[in-house]
Structure 1
Amino acid sequence: MGKPKPNIMTVTHPNSRKTNQLIKTKHKIAFRDKKKLNNLAKPSILCEKLFWFRDNIDNIIEKYTPQLLATLIEKYLNRFEPELNVIKARHKDKNNRRFASREDVIRHTMERERQEYIAAGIEVPNILDAGQLLYLRTWDGDIRYLPNFKIIRFSMPK
């Protein structure tokens, strides 16, 4: 059977080597789990963006032009406007700011995405290519197929 493994509660002295070793392993495991969650969040954010584009592309158009893509991106950047207007209307009715945190998150997201679009370009699916546009239309939303999409950086036309 052997000796039972020590845990932090059974070690006698708080500054002992065994305690320090156990604390080190706990921190290592916590850091690893945090990294896993961050790596899982990135595909889900991209997946949400692709869902939005899939639901808002025009089914009649066979191939998007840069001008049409720019108007679609503007629509994407303003996707929170109705919710923001509802929150502002609620603030006018009452003196308290009940949804202030949600409003701040929306405003921060909109500003960050707008700056990204103006400066370096926003990451969007390459719907300028007819094959990618067809693939986006037929995509069922499975995360496994995210690597099949060509993601391009599209910046604001000058």
Structure 2
Amino acid sequence: MGKPKPNIMTVNHPNSRKTKQLIKSKHKTAFRDKKKLNNLAKPSLLCEKLIWFRDNVDNTISQYTPELLAMLIEKYLKRFDNELNLIQAKHKDKINRRYASREDVIRLTVDREREEYLTAGIEVPSIFNAEQLLYLRTWDGDIRFLPNFRIIRFSCPK
């Protein structure tokens, strides 16, 4: 049958070896879970970006050019403008800023993406290729199929 496994509450002394082992294992599992959440967040952000591009590509165009893609990225960078205008309209009359945290998150996101676009390039699906564009249009938004996309870094044409 064996002894029951000790937990932190049943161990006698806070500085005992058993207590330190249990605390170490709890910290290890917490760190592992935090790492898993971070690894799951990146594909979901990329998935949201691809869904936005899928919904906003023009269905009449069979193959995008760099100029058309630059216009589409500018539209992508301005996707929060309506929400920011609504928040600013609510702030005009009042002294307190009720939606300040949401406004800050939006501004930081847009600033980071614009800086990426102007320097190293923003990650977008390769819609220069007609096959990739067709696959993007027919994609149902499932994260499992993200590896099938060819992702490129597109920077602002000078």
The TM-score by the shorter chain falls in which range? over 0.9
Secondary structure at the counterpart of residue 5 of structure 1: coil
Aligned to 1:70: 70
CA deviations on 1:9-48 (whole Å, 9 max, x unpaired) are 0000101111100000000000000011111111110100
Q: Which amino acid aligns with 2:71?
A: T
Q: Which 5+ residue runs of structure 2 have no aligned equivalent?
A: none
Aligned to 2:16: 16
- 1:7-156 equivalence runs, <5 A: 7-156=7-156
Q: Percent identity among equivalent residues?
A: 79
**TM-superposed deviation, 1:93:** 2.3
Distance 1:26 1:110 in 2: 37
Q: Which 5+ residue runs of structure 1 have no aligned equivalent?
A: none
RMSD over aligned Cα atoms: 0.5
Q: TM-score, normalised by structure 2?
A: 0.99
Distance 1:91 1:58 in 2: 36
Distance 1:143 1:103 in 2: 28
Distance 1:141 1:48 in 2: 8
Distance 1:34 1:80 in 2: 29
Q: Which amino acid aligns with 1:121?
A: G
Distance 1:32 1:137 in 2: 36
Aligned to 2:3: 3
**TM-superposed deviation, 1:128:** 0.7
**TM-superposed deviation, 1:51:** 0.4
Distance 1:55 1:72 in 2: 11
Q: TM-score, normalised by structure 1?
A: 0.99
Distance 1:42 1:107 in 2: 19
Distance 1:109 1:140 in 2: 25
Distance 2:93 2:53 in 1: 34
Distance 2:17 2:152 in 1: 51
